Chains A and B, each alone.
Chain A
Amino acid sequence: MGPVRLPRPQSELPNLNVSNDQGLLQWISTVDHKQIGVMYLLFSVLFLCIGGLAALLFRIQLALPNNNFLGPEMFNQLFTMHGTTMIFFVLTPAILGFSVYFTPLMIGANEMAFPRLNAFSLWIAFFGALLLYFSFLNGGAPDGGWFNYAPLNEKQYASGNGIDYYCIGLLLGGIGTTSTAINLIVTILKCRAKTMDMRHLPVFVWMVLVNSFLILAAFPAINAALCMLLLDRQLQAHFFDPSMGGSPLLWQHLFWLFGHPEVYILILPSFGILSEVFQVFSRKPIFGYKLLVGSGIVIALLAFGVWMHHMFAAGLGITINGFFSASSLLIGVATGVKIFSWIATMWGGSLRFTTAMMFACAFLVEFTIGGLSGISFAIVPIDWQLTDTYYVVAHIHYVFIGGSLFGLLAGLFYWFPKMSGRMIPERNGKIFFWLFVIGFNMTFLVQHALGAMGMSRRVYTYPDIPGYGTLNFISTCGAFIMGMSVLYLLYLLMKNKRHGKEAPGDPWDAYTLEWMTTSPPALKNFGALPPVFSERPFRDLKTERLGKKNIN
């Protein structure tokens, strides 16, 4: 089979009439999936800094016992904004950024299925985030925690405007996420290279596809809950108001019916990124392609059967607790399959420890720790003992940072040459890696112990109990190391974007189609595509050509 020529588009792409030298205007008006992907990542980095700053502030407050640096009101607002920002406006845009940048490239498409919708999704989510932060100027930020339990979120108990901004900001962000999910599904199903079978999708694209369906199924629950909450607050409805017979439990059900799938929404694309990173840097095809894809689908399905494990302490009865305990333990099986697939991919491979690969290996360790503390929460008596302590905080950060973020950082170091056309020197990348890993573990490993000792989360200060002060101080120091490492990362990215060594099209000797393009890819991604007969089309092409020399 010869290469497949792509047809020329019937009409010019809509953004072509703005020329490149118009700078900012060109970025704002763009509908190109690569530029939108980059803007998603910048959006994510901006809010990473803001959310991280909030975290540093309340870590200062917690560094010493009986501290009065912030005071309870500010502390509540900061931890709420930290959680909400990091989940909805850092991790979500980061996964969407990689998804819209690389999905079309990996399936041999020149654009998303709906380019304008793509731009709309980015901007509505961005303005949702701005609206959420506007609350600081108008009577104080939301202060009910990121899951914002009823009846604390009701007008009687939270009389400021913060929670209203929370509702509207998250609704707008949800609209953006949902429409991107629709866009990605249609792109993957309809815009693949002609010869690319569904069995030949790279694992990353499979995970994006599964993830998009998960988004479509999970977000309606929170959107409905947020609408109900807005009605409660603005029109004095009584959905979550116990004094009029409403049910605070309904909020918990709806929130976690969304919230648990949401944590998988944030991790599945990372799983996809890691599957690419492991195989390329082990110089060995991925082990168990079908197992990896299958376990991803299983995780997505199980996600809707485990939400009540967030509510064991709500007193739902032995039967319900038992059922949800068992279903939550099952998740461990599906995730374990993935971990073993990755280890088996490395087994016997010729490993290259680049920064991306180091993040992937660190992921295996950190995510397993997070997974094990998660398993301990699936066991009801342990959950009752540890719920609402720092053990939960440690767990959620081990899965969000040690899981999602490490995967995303592996992706960043893997794809940075493709996106910017420049290399990051490995030495500098590794300095960042060690700073970040040490800071992260210093911050959160000790919090397991604090939780087991009974320190409750979300309380602005604590008495001088033996051990508390020391451990909290270590945690605060770790947080500052993490903060510094993020600054160092920003410096690395900016410096190497300008002055880094120029990257060739395929610096890692990689397997998938995005590496066939120039670095960075031209506005039109592909002119011609090789025939696809596995999930590693570029590798097949290179091995086939070893004897021939007609490379493009």
Chain B
Amino acid sequence: MIKLVVGTEALFFVVLIFGYVYFAFNPGYSPQALRLLNIRSTGMFSLFLFSSSFTYWRAEVNFDKGKLFRLKVWLTITILLGCLFLFGQGREYFNLFRENLIVSSNLFGTSFFTLTGFHGLHVFIGLIMLSIVLLLAFLGDFDRPGSSVIGTVGIYWHFVDIVWFFVFSMVYVLPHFLKQ
């Protein structure tokens, strides 16, 4: 089931990324992406999100082996990394607001905030799911093997990560290759 959910969500993001690219290349690549976006700091926060996929994978492995303490530790680290990523996004938005870029400023603002905002929303939902998993782990729901909860939430969390890989490439990396 979760694969179907992720599949339909993936198409939703394909449309949003398409919308961003449609406006960013109209005509030529929008110079604002280069001027306003700080690829270094966002790249660093992206690393946190990417590594959270790794830590979640460690949590899954330890759950399969029945090592419950390590499961809780890796889960906690995953949640912290996700929070750090969201903090980075908030900081970035705050800086852009100070540069007077908001949703209604221009097309770049419109499509940038919509795309990254919807991704941030998905990270936030993922964090809620992870917190519930952690809570269940502390309540002892995973003491016996066989639960599909951790694998299911995992598919969603890795999906959110993969989406960010594409968003990051399109919004932050691509302009550097396309500049004259």
Do A and B come from the same complex? Answer: yes
Contact A236 B103 (CB under 8 A): yes
Q: Which of A238-246, A271-279, A305-313 contacts B (4 or more CB under 8 A)?
A: A238-246
Partner of A178, one of B8, B106, B109, B113: B8
Interface string of B2-38 (1 = CB under 8 A from A): 0011011101101110010011001000000000000
Partner of B26, one of A181, A216, A236, A245: A245
In the bound complex, how far is the Cα of B50 from the Cα of A154, in angstroms? 38
Partner of B103, one of A216, A231, A246, A254: A231
Chain B residues closer than 8 Å to A216, beta-carbon distance: 4, 7-8, 11
Partner of B4, one of A182, A220, A247, A250: A182
Contact B12 A224 (CB under 8 A): yes
In the complex, whether A186 has a CB less than 8 A from a CB of chain B is: yes
Contact B8 A186 (CB under 8 A): no
Contact A220 B103 (CB under 8 A): no
A102-136 CB contacts (< 8 Å) to partner B: 113-114
In the complex, whether B114 has a CB less than 8 A from a CB of chain A is: yes
Partner of B110, one of A219, A220, A238: A238
Chain A residues closer than 8 Å to B113, beta-carbon distance: 237
In the bound complex, how far is the Cα of B8 from the Cα of A104, in angstroms? 23
Q: Given A235-B103, A238-B106, A220–B12 Cβ distance below 8 Å?
A: yes
Contact A237 B110 (CB under 8 A): yes
Chain B residues closer than 8 Å to A114, beta-carbon distance: 1
Chain A residues closer than 8 Å to B11, beta-carbon distance: 216-217, 220-221
In the complex, whether B111 has a CB less than 8 A from a CB of chain A is: yes
Q: Given A182-B1, A231-B110, A224–B19 Cβ distance below 8 Å?
A: yes
A273-314 CB contacts (< 8 Å) to partner B: none
In the complex, whether B107 has a CB less than 8 A from a CB of chain A is: yes
Give the shortest distance, in Å, between A219 (CB) and chain B (any CB): 7
Give the shortest distance, in Å, between A176 (CB) and chain B (any CB): 13
In the bound complex, how far is the Cα of B108 from the Cα of A237, in angstroms? 10
A360-388 CB contacts (< 8 Å) to partner B: none
In the complex, whether B104 has a CB less than 8 A from a CB of chain A is: yes
Q: Given A217-B8, A221-B11, A224-B16, A246–B107 Cβ distance below 8 Å?
A: yes
| A224 (CB) vs chain B CBs: closest residue | B15
Give the shortest distance, in Å, between B124 (CB) and chain A (any CB): 16
Partner of A254, one of B7, B15, B26, B106: B15
Q: Given A114-B1, A224-B19, A250-B19, A219–B106 Cβ distance below 8 Å?
A: no
How many B residues touch A, CB cutoff 8 Å? Answer: 25
Contact B114 A231 (CB under 8 A): yes
In the complex, whether A227 has a CB less than 8 A from a CB of chain B is: yes
In the bound complex, how far is the Cα of B175 from the Cα of A388, in angstroms? 42
Partner of B15, one of A186, A220, A244, A246: A220
In the complex, whether A228 has a CB less than 8 A from a CB of chain B is: yes
In the complex, whether A223 has a CB less than 8 A from a CB of chain B is: yes
In the complex, whether A532 has a CB less than 8 A from a CB of chain B is: no
Give the shortest distance, in Å, between A521 (CB) and chain B (any CB): 25
Chain A residues closer than 8 Å to B103, beta-carbon distance: 231, 235-237
Chain A residues closer than 8 Å to B14, beta-carbon distance: 220
Q: Given A237-B104, A238-B106, A245-B26, A228–B1 Cβ distance below 8 Å?
A: no
| A234 (CB) vs chain B CBs: closest residue | B103
Give the shortest distance, in Å, between B3 (CB) and chain A (any CB): 10
| B11 (CB) vs chain A CBs: closest residue | A220
Partner of A236, one of B16, B23, B104: B104
In the complex, whether A185 has a CB less than 8 A from a CB of chain B is: yes
Give the shortest distance, in Å, between A382 (CB) and chain B (any CB): 30
Chain A residues closer than 8 Å to B16, beta-carbon distance: 224
In the bound complex, how far is the Cα of B103 from the Cα of A244, in angstroms? 12
Give the shortest distance, in Å, between A103 (CB) and chain B (any CB): 16
Chain B residues closer than 8 Å to A227, beta-carbon distance: 114, 118
In the bound complex, how far is the Cα of B2 from the Cα of A113, in angstroms? 13
Interface string of B86-121 (1 = CB under 8 A from A): 000000000000000001101101110110001000
Contact B19 A238 (CB under 8 A): no
Contact B110 A250 (CB under 8 A): no
In the bound complex, how far is the Cα of B16 from the Cα of A246, in angstroms? 14
Partner of B104, one of A181, A220, A235, A250: A235
Q: Given A237-B103, A245-B26, A254-B15, A220–B114 Cβ distance below 8 Å?
A: no
In the bound complex, how far is the Cα of B15 from the Cα of A217, in angstroms? 11
Give the shortest distance, in Å, between B105 (CB) and chain A (any CB): 9
Chain A CB within 10 A, most for which of B7, B107, B118: B107
Contact A237 B114 (CB under 8 A): yes
Contact B15 A247 (CB under 8 A): no
Chain A residues closer than 8 Å to B114, beta-carbon distance: 227-228, 231, 237, 239
Partner of A220, one of B9, B19, B107: B9
Contact B4 A228 (CB under 8 A): no
Chain A residues closer than 8 Å to B107, beta-carbon distance: 238, 244-246
Chain B residues closer than 8 Å to A235, beta-carbon distance: 103-104
A170-191 CB contacts (< 8 Å) to partner B: 178, 181-182, 185-186
Chain A residues closer than 8 Å to B106, beta-carbon distance: 238, 244-245
In the bound complex, how far is the Cα of B19 from the Cα of A237, in angstroms? 13
In the bound complex, how far is the Cα of B116 from the Cα of A340, in angstroms? 50
In the bound complex, how far is the Cα of B4 from the Cα of A235, in angstroms? 31
Chain B CB within 10 A, most for which of A223, A224, A247: A224
Give the shortest distance, in Å, between B173 (CB) and chain A (any CB): 23
Chain B residues closer than 8 Å to A181, beta-carbon distance: 4
Give the shortest distance, in Å, between B107 (CB) and chain A (any CB): 5
A226-272 CB contacts (< 8 Å) to partner B: 227-228, 231, 235-239, 244-247, 250, 254
Give the shortest distance, in Å, between A256 (CB) and chain B (any CB): 13
In the bound complex, how far is the Cα of B104 from the Cα of A228, in angstroms? 12
Interface string of B144-169 (1 = CB under 8 A from A): 00000000000000000000000000
Contact B5 A239 (CB under 8 A): no
Contact A185 B19 (CB under 8 A): no
| A219 (CB) vs chain B CBs: closest residue | B8
Chain A residues closer than 8 Å to B118, beta-carbon distance: 227
In the bound complex, how far is the Cα of B4 from the Cα of A380, in angstroms? 37
Chain B residues closer than 8 Å to A245, beta-carbon distance: 23, 26, 106-107
In the bound complex, how far is the Cα of B15 from the Cα of A225, in angstroms? 8
9 closest A-B pairs by beta carbon, nearest first, are A236-B104, A220-B12, A220-B11, A224-B15, A237-B110, A216-B8, A235-B103, A182-B4, A238-B110
Task: List 8 A-B pairs, Cβ < 8 Å.
Answer: A178-B8, A216-B7, A228-B114, A231-B110, A239-B114, A244-B106, A245-B106, A254-B15
Q: A221-B11, A239-B111 are in contact. List 4 more A-B contacts (CB 8 A).
A: A114-B1, A224-B12, A227-B114, A246-B110
